Amino acid sequence: MEQAYYINRHEERDGQIVLFNRPNGQKPIWHMRLYVKGMKNANGVKKQYVQKSTSTTDKAEAIAIAKEEHDSLRYKVRHKKPATDIRFKDLYVLWWSTKKRRALEKRFESKGREGKNPRITWHERFSERYWIPYFGEYLVNDIDNTIIENYWRWREDYWRNASEEERKKFANHSLNPAKKTLAMEQSTLRELFGWAHSEKIKEYMPIVATPYNRDGVAEKRRPSFEREEWERLDRYMRERWVKGKGVNDTKSKRVHKGHLWQREMVRLYIQFLQSTGMRPGEPLRLRHRDISVIKTKKGSEVLKIQVPRETKTGERDVHSMKTTVRYYNSIKEHTGYNKPNDWVFCDRKGVRSRGYYATVKTLLRDLDMYLDKNNDKRSSYSFRHYYAEQRLQEIGTNPQALDYIAANMGTSWQMLQNFYIRKGQNVDLDTLIGFD
C-alpha cells in the first residue's frame, strides 16, 4: 500500500494494527489493516493482511474495535480457522472442486460404469438452479436456521413463481417437488455445511430439515401401472409396435428393419424388467455367464441372475418369474450372441447397450401412458415398481414375503412399505405359494 493511501496513520501492537483515514472520503471514517502471522483464507492460501472499515469517526472507538478484531484473528489462526468469512457460492465451489466431485467420480469408476455420471449432473443442475441463486451471496457464517427454513418455502414455490419462459425451457419441471427430491437436497446441504464446519469454515452446524421431516408427510407412491395398463402395453408391443404398425407409423414414415430389430430388443428389455424387478441399469451389465436356469422345489424353471458388483447395491442373486425364461431365450435367439462373455442386451454387432430410455419414453407417450393418473412421469423404473406391487398383491405383506421381495430387488422393508404397499393392501399369506 502506498504511503499516499494513509491519512492520519496510527499504529498499535508493533504495527500489526494500522488505523488510517482514506483520502477524499466524505467522512473521516477510520479504517483498519490487521496482520497476524500464519493467516490463511478458506482455500488454505496465506493471507497478508485483513483490511476493513471500523464504521466510526471516533479514533478511540476505532482503536478498541481494531484490537477486538485483531484478537479474533489471532484466535482463528491459533485454532487453524480461516481468517475471513466467505460467501456460500465460493464455499460451494471449494467443496465441489476439492471433495465432492472427486468422491462421485471415484465411486462411479469403482463400479465399472462408463459415460456421463448422473450424480454429477444432478449436483450441477441443482446447485445452478436452486442452491447458489438462493444461498449464493450469504456469508457462510450468516446462514442460520431461519435462512435455511426459508429456503424450503422458496424451493417449494420456485416453479409456481417462475416465468413462463423458464417453465417452457424446463418442460419436465414439477410444480410440487417430490419428497425424495427434497430429501436428496437435504442430504447434500447437510453434507456441505457439515464439511464446512469440520474444516472450521463455518462456526456451527445449522439444522437442515425439509418440511416433510417436520410435518410427517407420507411418501408418494412411485409411478407404476395398473394391471389393465400393463396388459394393454404388452399387447400393443407384441401385436403392433414390433411389426411396424405403431400408432405413429405411417406409409410415408416407414419403419426399416433396423428399427424393428431395436423395438423387439426394447420389448424384451421391458419384459425382463417387469418379471425380475431389477433396476433399469442392472440388466445392461449382464453377460450370459451371469444367468443360469434353475428349478424350484416344485419343479418350475426360473432364472438365477447374479447381479454384478458394479451396480448400485453391489452383488446379489435375483430369481425371476417363470415367464422370464421364455423372454431370455427370445433374447438369445434375437441377438445371436450366446457365448458366456457376450452381453445379454446388445446391439446387432454384439456391443453392450447403453440403455433404451428415450425409446421407452417415446413408446409410453405414443400410448398416452407417459403420465400416470397423478401426473407423475413414468420411466423404465416404473416396470420395477409394477413388479413390486404385483408381487406384494400375490404373496402378501407378511415378514417372509417382505424379506424375499426386498432381497430379490436389492432394497429394504422400509422402501417396500413406503413406496409399494398400497392403502388397503394387506393380504397376509402363510407361504409364498404360487410365486415360483
CA distance 280 to 393: 22
Nearest to 130 by CA among 112, 105, 157: 157
Give residue-wise pLDDT tens across range 42-65.
Answer: 777 788 888 989 999 999 999 999
Nearest to 382 by CA among 239, 230, 236, 179: 230
368-381 burial, b for 16+ CB within 10 Å, e for fewer? ebbebeeebebbbb
Q: Are strands 316-319 and 301-307 parallel, antiparallel or unpaired?
A: antiparallel
Name the DSSP class of 42: T
pTM metric for this prediction: 0.57
More confident call, 79 vs 367: 367
pLDDT the model gives residue 405: 87
**How large is the average pLDDT for residues 76-85?**
80
Give residue-wise pLDDT tens across range 164-223.
Answer: 999 888 877 888 888 888 999 999 999 999 988 887 788 888 889 887 654 555 555 678
pLDDT the model gives residue 429: 32
More confident call, 175 vs 311: 175
pLDDT the model gives residue 217: 53
Hunting for cell 429394504 — which residue is that? 412
Model confidence band, residue 73 (pLDDT cutoffs 50, 70, 90): confident
Model confidence band, residue 270 (pLDDT cutoffs 50, 70, 90): very high
* Residue ranges of domains in the chain: 3-78, 88-215, 227-369
pLDDT the model gives residue 421: 63
Hunting for cell 465460493 — which residue is that? 90
**How large is the average pLDDT for residues 252-278?**
91
Whether 435 shows a pLDDT value over 50: the answer reads no
**How large is the average pLDDT for residues 110-134?**
88
Give residue-wise pLDDT tens across range 215-252.
Answer: 555 555 678 999 999 999 999 999 999 999 998 887 66
**How large is the average pLDDT for residues 154-173?**
89
pLDDT the model gives residue 147: 95
What cell was used for 99?
471433495
pLDDT the model gives residue 132: 96
Mean pLDDT of the chain: 86
pLDDT the model gives residue 4: 58
Whether 333 shows a pLDDT value over 90: the answer reads yes
Whether 5 shows a pLDDT value over 90: the answer reads no
* Cβ atoms of residues 367 and 231 within 8 Å: no
pLDDT the model gives residue 349: 95
* Cβ atoms of residues 47 and 41 within 8 Å: yes
Whether 424 shows a pLDDT value over 80: the answer reads no
List of residues 6+ apart from 435 with CB closer than 8 A: 391, 394, 395, 404
Model confidence band, residue 134 (pLDDT cutoffs 50, 70, 90): very high
pLDDT the model gives residue 423: 41
pLDDT the model gives residue 344: 97
Hunting for cell 450366446 — which residue is that? 338
**How large is the average pLDDT for residues 102-119?**
80
pLDDT the model gives residue 40: 82
CATH of 227-369, one of 1.20.1250, 3.90.15, 1.10.1740, 3.40.50: 3.90.15
Model confidence band, residue 125 (pLDDT cutoffs 50, 70, 90): very high
pLDDT the model gives residue 427: 39
pLDDT the model gives residue 425: 45
pLDDT the model gives residue 308: 85
Give residue-wise pLDDT tens across range 8-43.
Answer: 999 999 999 999 998 888 899 999 999 999 988 777
